[in-house]
């Protein structure tokens, strides 16, 4: 669930209606909504967001694995937190949920390694879906 | 001969500081801010944002992620509110946490708006409009 922006001068928060679940892995409705955001050069923002997500996530998973091996829990937690944010915003709910679980389970080393493996395999599943969507958008007429 | 001198004062540029360690979020925020005809100055962590603000105060608004390496978003907010030349700049805090305490802490530190992830494009656009509008209100009131 997401909330409307809350200002310092406003005490009320308008709740956004719950989004229809189209896919647990990737909610296309959420991702495609970003097509409404128009870039100044007319490029497709969704394609750019997918590219950035794929690149950043691959790097972040490596960072998290290295951090877990070196027992750098703060780095691991911060990286999981960041990945949770971009995953949830783009509609990648399962990725976001695993990141949330990693954040919550830092007291148990075994759990962290298991969840990281789960995150890696989920990213392997999600990657081709995102690439297909990116390629589909690239093929669309301007 | 009498000479008439006309002084042209440079208008305050519509520049927005965006600090986020996530390239997906930076791109999304930048695109939406540019839609509002604002120039973007980017920082990829809190320390970089702090260094920019040490020598540059000509910002119409600042958008800060709360969870950043080296220096947290709230530390940057506190710094901005303690400096006379920065204290009127409206600040929006973005976070992957939907946490009431964090929201209260952000407002206590001096944030103007608080936007938890995930957010829709509409929520992001209205939050940014609100942020830019709050500067106008501040200027009009002063």
* Mean pLDDT to the nearest integer, B63-72: 94
> What is the structure's pLDDT at B111?
96
Mean pLDDT for the stretch of residues B23-33: 96
- Compare CB distances from B112 to A4, A8, A36 and report the shortest one's residue: A8
Checking if the pLDDT of B56 tops 90, the result is yes
pLDDT surpasses 70 at A8 = no
Supply the pLDDT for residue B8: 55
Asked if pLDDT for residue B130 goes beyond 80, the answer is: yes
Q: Beta-carbon neighbour count of residue A14 at 10 Å?
A: 10
Nearest to B116 among A2, A48, A49 (CB): A2
Maximum separation of any 2 CA atoms in chain B, in Å: 69
Q: Cβ separation of B130 and A5 shorter than 8 Å?
A: yes
Question: Which residue in B22, B95, B112 is closest to A7 by CB distance?
Answer: B112
Give the pLDDT of residue B12.
53
Q: B51 touching A, CB under 8 A?
A: no
Q: ipTM for the complex?
A: 0.82
> Is A55 at the interface with chain B, CB within 8 A?
yes
d(CA B132, CA B137): 9
Is the Cβ pair A16, B114 closer than 8 Å?
no
Using the predicted structure, report yes or no on whether residue A21 has a pLDDT greater than 50.
no
Burial of A9 (0-12, 13-18, 19+ CB in 10 A): exposed
pTM above 0.80, yes or no: yes
pLDDT higher than threshold 70 for residue B10: no
Q: Which pLDDT score is estimated for B81?
A: 97
| C-alpha distance from residue B98 to each of A76, B70, B82, B110 (Å) | 20, 22, 27, 18
pLDDT band at A18 (very low <50, low <70, confident <90, very high): very low
CB spacing of B134 vs A89 below 8 angstroms:
no
Average the pLDDT over B94-115 and give the result: 91
Supply the pLDDT for residue A20.
40
State the pLDDT at residue A5. Answer: 59
Cα dihedral angle (B133, B134, B136, B138), rounded to 10 degrees? Answer: 170
Nearest residue to B38 (alpha-carbon basis) of B10, B58, B68, B65: B58
Alpha-carbon gap: B45 to the closest alpha carbon of chain A (Å): 12
Contact B117 A45 (CB under 8 A): no
* Token pair for A52: 């950035």
| Mean pLDDT value across residues A51-74 | 95
């Amino acid at each position: 669930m997401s909330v409307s922006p809350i200002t310092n001068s406003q005490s009320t928060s308008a709740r956004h209606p719950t989004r229809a679940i189209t896919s647990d892995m990737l909610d296309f409705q959420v991702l495609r909504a970003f097509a409404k955001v128009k870039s100044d050069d007319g490029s497709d923002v969704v394609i750019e967001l997918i590219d950035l997500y794929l690149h950043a996530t691959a790097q972040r998973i490596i960072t998290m694995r290295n951090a877990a091996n070196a027992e750098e829990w703060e780095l691991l937690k911060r990286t999981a937190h960041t990945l949770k944010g971009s995953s949830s915003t783009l509609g990648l709910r399962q990725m976001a949920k695993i990141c949330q679980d990693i954040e919550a389970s830092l007291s148990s080393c075994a759990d962290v390694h298991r969840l990281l493996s789960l995150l890696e395999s989920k990213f392997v599943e999600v990657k081709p879906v995102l690439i297909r969507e990116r390629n589909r958008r690239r093929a669309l007429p301007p | 001969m009498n000479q008439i001198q006309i002084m042209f004062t440079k208008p305050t540029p519509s520049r927005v500081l965006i600090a986020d360690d996530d390239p997906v979020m930076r791109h999304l925020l930048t695109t939406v801010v540019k839609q509002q005809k604002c120039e973007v100055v980017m920082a990829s962590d809190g320390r970089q944002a702090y260094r920019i603000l040490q020598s540059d105060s000509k910002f119409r608004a600042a958008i800060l992620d709360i969870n950043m390496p080296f220096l947290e978003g709230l530390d940057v907010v506190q710094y901005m509110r303690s400096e006379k030349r920065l204290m009127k700049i409206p600040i929006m805090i973005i976070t992957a946490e939907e946490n009431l305490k964090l929201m209260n802490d952000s407002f206590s530190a001096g944030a103007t708006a608080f936007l938890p992830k995930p957010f829709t494009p509409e929520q992001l656009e209205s939050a940014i409009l609100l942020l830019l509008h709050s500067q106008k209100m501040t200027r009009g009131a002063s």
